């Protein structure tokens, strides 16, 4: 039996937002690979899949450290890539599941690139998923952009100068990965008089989903990793 590798985005957290194609493929794979940032952290992607796939599937955890050291990251990408390649060459249908979309700030992209470079003959298929920002916009009941408005999506990590330039340039902005730098982001929004343009959405699609326009109330607090800020109508400030 020929093996195959699937990169599957499982959506932002609500299992009903898993696509029909993703559901069909997950019903037929032999192995599910689960990316984890540390050994003791729950896999959000696996928690989604476990709610809808009732039969037992072999799961394998692949570690991706939260590091900015390129050498460390590449070593872990290679370890994960080799494991996937071994499983596929043994004839397994292997799914690599990620929260959100498989091609949007996802660890899957690194594994796909590794396989393309080192095992170009292995069959690979990518299945997109609903992004967190799309789900958040739906929960808010507000579009991310309309008409000729432009939209920027950036990870709000470390490069705060870039963040300021983005806020000065675009109509609408989505800030991902804000939990570690939220207080610094608040300072910038205060300085630019943009607090009232921002909405905080945390754990969208989960039972404890949070939506708040009173974002200053969260200063100094620990935000969940699954938190984003949506800023709209910035040029109309």
CB distance 7 to 98 below 8 Å:
yes
Tell me the CATH number at 222.
3.30.950.10
User: Which has more pLDDT, 234 or 33?
Assistant: 33
CA 40 to chain centre: 19
CB distance 34 to 60 below 8 Å:
yes
- Pairwise CA distance, residues 151 & 232, whole Å: 9
230 pLDDT exceeds 60?
yes
Q: What is the band of 229 on the pLDDT scale with cuts at 50, 70, 90?
A: very high
- Pairwise CA distance, residues 108 & 52, whole Å: 21
Interval 6-24: pLDDT, tens: 999 999 988 999 999 999 9
CB distance 40 to 102 below 8 Å:
no
Residue 30 shares a structural domain with residue 115: yes
- Count of domains forming the chain: 2
Interval 171-228: pLDDT, tens: 999 999 898 889 999 999 999 999 999 999 999 888 889 999 999 999 989 898 889 9
Residue 107 shares a structural domain with residue 194: no
Residue 208 shares a structural domain with residue 139: yes
Residue 74 domain boundaries = 4-127
Looking at 127, 161, 188, the residue that finishes a domain is 127
At residue 40, the pLDDT reads 46
Q: What is the band of 41 on the pLDDT scale with cuts at 50, 70, 90?
A: low
User: Which has more pLDDT, 124 or 42?
Assistant: 124
* Percent of the chain at pLDDT exceeding 70: 96
Residue 106 shares a structural domain with residue 11: yes
């Amino acid at each position: 039996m020929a093996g195959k590798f699937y990169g599957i985005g499982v959506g932002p957290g609500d299992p009903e937002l898993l696509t029909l194609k993703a559901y069909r493929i997950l019903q037929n794979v032999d192995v599910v690979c689960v990316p984890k940032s540390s050994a003791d952290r729950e896999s959000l992607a696996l928690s989604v899949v476990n709610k809808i796939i009732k039969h037992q599937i072999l799961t394998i955890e692949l570690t991706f450290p939260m590091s900015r050291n390129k050498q460390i990251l590449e070593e872990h990408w290679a370890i994960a890539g080799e494991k996937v390649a071994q499983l596929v060459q043994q004839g397994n249908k292997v799914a690599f599941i990620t929260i959100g979309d498989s091609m949007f700030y996802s660890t899957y992209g690194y594994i796909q690139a590794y396989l393309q470079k080192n095992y170009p003959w292995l069959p690979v298929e990518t299945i997109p998923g609903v992004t967190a920002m799309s789900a958040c916009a739906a929960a808010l009941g507000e579009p991310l952009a309309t008409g000729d408005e432009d939209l920027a999506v950036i990870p709000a990590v470390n490069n705060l100068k870039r963040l300021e330039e983005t806020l000065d340039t675009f109509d609408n902005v989505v800030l991902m990965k804000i939990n570690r730098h939220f207080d610094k982001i608040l300072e910038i929004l205060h300085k630019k008089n943009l607090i009232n343009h921002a909405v905080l959405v945390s754990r969208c699609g989960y039972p404890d989903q949070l939506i708040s326009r009173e974002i200053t109330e969260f200063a100094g607090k620990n935000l969940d990793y699954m938190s984003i800020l949506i800023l709209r109508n910035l040029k109309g400030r």
